[in-house]
Structure 1
Amino acid sequence: MKMARVGILLDKQAAERRWAFGQNVFEAYLGEVLSHAGIPYQWLDDPATIDRADVDILLVALCEEEEKKAATLLRFAEDGGGVISYAGLNRLTGKLGCKERREWSPGYARLPGEGEDLRPLRYLYSRPWILTNEAEGEAWGSLHAERPDGPETAPALLRFKAGSGFIDRWSVNIPYTIVALQQGSGPVFEDGIPAEDGTGNVDEGILKADDKCEMDWEYDRLTTETGAPYFAHPYADLWREVLIGHLLRRSVEMGLTLPFLGYWPDGISHVAMISHDSDINQDEHAEATLEVLEECGIRSTWCMLEPGYSSSIYDRVKEAGHELAFHYNALDIQGGHWGEEEFDRQLAWLKSAAGLSEITSNKNHYTRFEGWGELFRFCEKNGIAAEQTRGPSKKGNIGFLFGTCHPYFPISWADERNRLYDVLEIGFLTQDLDHLTLADSSVVVPFLEQTKKVQGVAHFLFHQIHIMQQPKVTDAVRKVVREAKSRGFVFWTCKEINDWERARRKVSIRGVNDRGEVIADGEALDRLVVWIPVTGEAETGAVIESKFGVPCMKQVLSRSCASR
């Protein structure tokens, strides 16, 4: 099998022009989407350098709308290449027999083959085309204005034959949508809009991660049988699946395969995580938590708030195999404040108090958050590799309020040229279930089921004080563990998730041999799964599963295979 060669075009001239005016190029996030999936690709910064001999499929992240550059992309397709764009290529509108239509954003996209139980996907920016009578394109899916059942405005995807190749153009800017769902459409500098039903009073005067949430209170929440509302759909993860599935299908249609990495080690399809925040810092709270964790047979992540526990507690936490993490306090009413110096000072305290030379992860107290990338810069400076702050602070905004349950590297603002921060974000779904004033545990099963579908991380937060003081919260911990284990979840700490994700990204697929086996470079990593889309008859005895809607053959890399 021949492996498809994928290129991402990020026109340097166009990007520089946008950065000069303070405009973001979130389209660059295409690289992070493919990297997380373990799909090999190369960056191209000038359309003039595109050579059909080097690239089979070109993903257009950004290209200056110039006649000459548009003609280069069209010629690449006519020569047998594939071009995929996400709400771009507008210079080719007339040549492809289309007209541009008014933008309706945000909205919802209906895509064929979604499944009866999945609502249309929320998108945050579109630039739609429609076919004219002269066009020879194929429309796929549909966009709907403002709400899931809103009026149809345009096709979701248009596909065109061009010579011996093709041009596919999505009406939705998928990379932008993923970024804005995960990180918001702008910096946090004021309160968010509360829920009209009173379940999400994010306008309480404290700046937090959920003050910049792009979900809709009405259209994106469901309720459980007890009436508990929750954000039900990991739209960012689902858009990733749409983007990757489309790329894989197009590769196979060209007679090429495009191998990619499994998210988790062989034998594991989805991961659960429990973290704790040490608010109030009483030793008896920690002792009660250690007992229930031992009973449940899991290890967890302990985010420590100054002044913390007695030193003997830290020793017991470490001896039990739990992770000690940081809980940065920037809550003004408790004497904390937002700033690099204060972050540094509190982290130095924890290292000294707990006898740690390094700390892997952090979660901010009360999910305090300001601006756009400051927190990630604080973490980078101090060697904090993983971050957990992006989660709900209110009873009514639990669930997938940032559209994802996958670990991801966040993108910076235009002032940092939209680089990726070297900090792995692992957000959480909810906190302290069955607490007197918070959500009940009826959400556990839907959270686990949806996380399982997208092979993500089901991250639950439980404070030690509530485990000690409220028996129903303790029982909720037991329920989470019981229900998760019954569905095949494996409990990892934040550090374990971070270490695995970073290690798997160091493995690079560079080809497929004559026997259909992947050849990979990088550090040795046991039980790493590779999926190889099937282009014809699969080998006898091969394990075939559908991944991203494409039949794929499974290969487990050994240490020797990963270092060829």
Structure 2
Amino acid sequence: MVVPDTATIGIWLDSKAADKRWRYGLNVFELYLKEILAHAGIPYVMLGDREALEKAKPDVLLIAVSGESNIELEQLKHYVKDGGILISYAGLNRMAGALQCRELVCREPVYVTTPHLNAAAGGRKLRALQAKPWVRIDRREGASEGGHLFKGSPDGDPIAAAYLEFELGAGKLIRWNVNIPGTIVGLQQGDGPVIEDGVPAPDGTGALDEGILKADDGCMLDWALDREFTGAGMPYYALPYADLWKEVLVSQVLRESANIGRLLPFVDYWPDHTEQVAMISLDSDFNHDDSALAALALLEEMDVRATWCLIEPGYSKPVYERVAAAGHELAFHYNALAQERGKWEQAEFNRQLEVIRCATGARIVTNKNHYTRFEGWGELFRWCEEAGIVNDQSRGPSKKGNIGFLFGTCHPYFPIAWSDERNRMYRVLETGYLTPDLAYPSLADTSVIIPLLNRVQEVRGAAHFLFHPIHILQKPKVRDALQQVIREAKARGYEFWTSEDLYRWEQARRSMLSDDGKLHLDKAPEGAVVWVPVTGSGGETIAGTEEAEETAPGSTEAPMLREASGIDPETVMRFGVLCRRI
């Protein structure tokens, strides 16, 4: 069963243009549009030629890759003039002249205001990594602009609008001056393979240059511009920029669909009555059984299940039995630290994993790298895929001064490969963490707990905190910090999940999305919630909601919506748009 007469969202991919870029070793990170929409619970259809475009008739078409040939540009213009909504993310440069625009050179990060699209940012400017701004040469009719780009810093000079809109015939072309999908990939995964140390913090709180390659060596944020300080003076990366950019993109797709009176149902991030989740992971460094039992007792007292990442040789068998019996997840903690005779190679990854699987008797589907060791771009994810690891937790901070949203996200996501793998999506869910061992003497204090929980709550993400049982046993302040994290999270309505819980849910809800661009309600997992916008940007009610109750006799739309809704009229704000549960 599908929701009838809904909007179709298309992603345009000129395969020849993509092949050409891959042939020269260039990335097509715009393909990450697929992951952005899928995580938002929005079905889409891939298109790349005139026949497919005319058959699908998408209401909104997002440009991933365009060869910008004369024939292709004419096809896209025809689509818009017939009433389509076309959205480009810093592309379609050959159309600039025809639209009375010129391109500016911009080779540095920019900060962006996007009015009405990112309420969760609280008015703050968003960092963007890839800008190709157009400015209008004249003030032609049917053209408008929104937001601003600020060069180099939030206080930099405004250089262009954030996006331009052009009315063409019955439709509209929206051209963003920043590459939103490319920015999201850069924030989450870096701008290239990790092959050298990152730049250390000027205030001494982030010594990334210690000769150990780590995930945080690829952080794309600025020590001075992107951190805030708690009342106790503790620095932290304060904004989940990647998540906020996703909201900007998704919000616009929902609004544009609503503005033309089309339903666009989407699957909620979380099950019914869940607004956000929290995760506790425990790394078994030093493998003292008494520390494991201390952590287990604390979690039982707080009624929380956790993911236990086990490093070779691990705990004793009785400890695993007790941990598993209490409902916790047993996971892997790969050690590639040279100082501990670890190696960064697939054979060593597999050997250590087999040791832990044999010792625990568990199938093990989650990994976190010891000390966040990370090299290259995608080899870790390939190793995980081949070894049956479906969730990784290795992307997080290793220093006191780079905790928080150093990779711009608190949402689980599937990473994208480099050009040598044609920018495919890895089948490994990445679930990074926010902080290690709060209140440990050389790490951050507990003043960051509430700001981080509040910010994760604003974007309805997953607040993942890492602790080590050895410190829970030996450092009373660390033990107290873990208890405080749990108390504060529960007070804010967080539900505690394991890493495996999260992967299973993400897979289950995405099963509702099909390649035909439709949402299949009959594939909904238990607890799934589907929303549909009920108003356009101007507040008008759109077709398929109140008006659907008065559709003509014989119409299937309103009965289907009522059947799917369970007669629940609840409305909430999702992605900055008022939505109703169906």
Q: SS of the residue aligned with 2:520?
A: strand
2:165 to 153, 159, 165: 159
Kindly state the Cα deviation for residue 45 of structure 1 after the two structures are TM-superposed.
2.5
Paired AA for residue 159 in structure 1:
E
Q: Is the 8 A contact 2:44 2:516 kept in 1?
A: no
2:547 aligned with 1:544, yes or no? no
Q: Which position in structure 1 is the counterpart of 2:502? A: 497
Report how far residue 263 of structure 1 moved: 0.3
Aligned to 1:374: 379
Q: Which has the higher contact order (CA 8 A, sep 6+)?
A: 2
Structure 2 residue runs of 5 or longer lacking an equivalent are 536-540, 547-566
Deviating more after overlay: 544-553 vs 413-422? 544-553
Of the three residues 87, 98, 101, the one matched with 2:101 is 98
Given the superposition, is the C-alpha separation of residues 216 and 332 from structure 1 closer, same or farther in structure 2, using an over 3 Å criterion? same
Among 317, 338, 343, the alignment partner of 1:337 is 343
Aligned to 1:11: 14
* Cα distance between partner residues in 1 of 2:105 and 2:12: 26
- Match status 1:60 vs 2:63: yes
Residues 517-561 of structure 1: per-residue CA shift (max 9 Å, x gap): x96256441110001111526449611112112111112xxxxxx
Equivalent positions of 1:63-102 (< 5 A) are 63-102=66-105
TM-score by length of 1: 0.95
- Is the contact between residue 266 and residue 519 of structure 2 (CA under 8 Å) also seen in structure 1? no
- Which residue is 1:128 aligned to? 133
Q: For residues 457 and 443 of structure 1, what CA distance do their matches in structure 2 show?
A: 16
Cα distance between partner residues in 1 of 2:310 and 2:385: 19
What does 1:298-447 align with in structure 2 at a 5 Å threshold? Answer: 298-356=304-362, 358-447=363-452
SS of alignment partner, residue 505 of structure 2 = helix
Deviations 1:281-324 (A, max 9, x none): 10011011011101111000000000111100000000111100
Q: Does 1:231 align with 2:237?
A: yes
What does 1:238-277 align with in structure 2 at a 5 Å threshold? 238-277=244-283
CA distance in 1 between counterparts of 2:345 and 2:56 reads: 50
Name the SS of the counterpart of 1:51 in structure 2.
Answer: helix
Give me the whole-angstrom Cα distance separating, in 2, the residues matched to 1:511 and 1:12: 19
Q: CA deviation at 1:52?
A: 6.9
- Indicate how the Cα distance of structure 1 residues 499 and 260 shifts in structure 2: closer, same or farther if over 3 A, else same: same
After alignment, is 426-435 or 102-111 more displaced?
102-111
Letter in 2 for 1:450: R
Task: Kindly provide the CA deviation profile for residues 393-434 of structure 1, in whole angstroms up to 9, marking residues without a partner as x.
Answer: 000000000000000000000000000000000000001001
Q: Distance between the aligned counterparts of 1:449 and 1:31, measured in 2?
A: 28
Which residue pairs with 2:492 in the alignment? 487
Alignment length, in residue pairs?
549
Moved more, 56-65 or 359-368: 56-65
**Which stretch shifts more, 501-510 or 267-276?**
501-510
C-alpha distance 334-315 of structure 1, shift in aligned 2 (>3 A): same
Distance of 2:391 and 2:67 partners within structure 1: 35
Q: Is the contact between residue 43 and residue 519 of structure 2 (CA under 8 Å) also seen in structure 1?
A: no
Q: 1:340 to 1:53 in 2, by over 3 A?
A: closer
The residue aligned with 2:562 is none
SS in 2 for 1:273: strand
Aligned residue type for 1:552: C
1:468 aligns with 2:495: no
127-136 or 180-189: bigger deviation = 127-136
CA distance in 2, matches of 1:47, 1:130: 30
In structure 1, what is the Cα distance between the partners aligned to 2:312 and 2:523?
A: 38
Give RMSD over aligned pairs. Answer: 1.7
Equivalent in the alignment of 1:282:
288
- Matched with 1:41 is 44
Shift of 1:132: 1.7
Q: 1:48, CA displacement in angstroms?
A: 5.8
Structure 1 residue 105: deviation in Å? Answer: 2.5
Query: 1-side partners of 2:56 and 2:484: how far apart?
Result: 56
- When structure 1 is superposed on structure 2, of 67-76 and 521-530 the one drifting more is 521-530
Q: Under a length normalisation based on structure 2, what TM-score does the superposition of the two structures give?
A: 0.92
Partner AA of 1:156 in structure 2: A
Q: Which runs of 5+ in 1 are unaligned?
A: 513-517, 556-564
Say which of 111, 115, 120 aligns to 2:114: 111
Report the equivalent of 1:24: 27
Contact 1:160 1:166 in 2 (8 A): yes
CA distance in 1, matches of 2:148, 2:297: 53
Secondary structure of 1:410's counterpart equals coil
Residues 360 and 329 of structure 1: is their aligned pair in 2 closer, same or farther, counting only changes over 3 Å? Answer: same
Of 385-394 and 94-103, the range deviating more from structure 2: 94-103
Q: Hey, what does 1:515 align to over in structure 2? A: none
* 8 Å contact kept, 1:510–1:521: no
Is the 8 Å Cα contact of residues 44 and 515 (structure 2) preserved in structure 1?
A: no
Partner of 1:180: 186
| Alignment match, 1:525 | 525
- Taking the aligned partners of 1:19 and 1:50, their CA distance within structure 2 comes to 24
TM-superposed CA distance for 1:54, in Å, is 2.5
* Preserved contact between residue 268 and residue 490 of structure 1 (Cα < 8 Å): yes
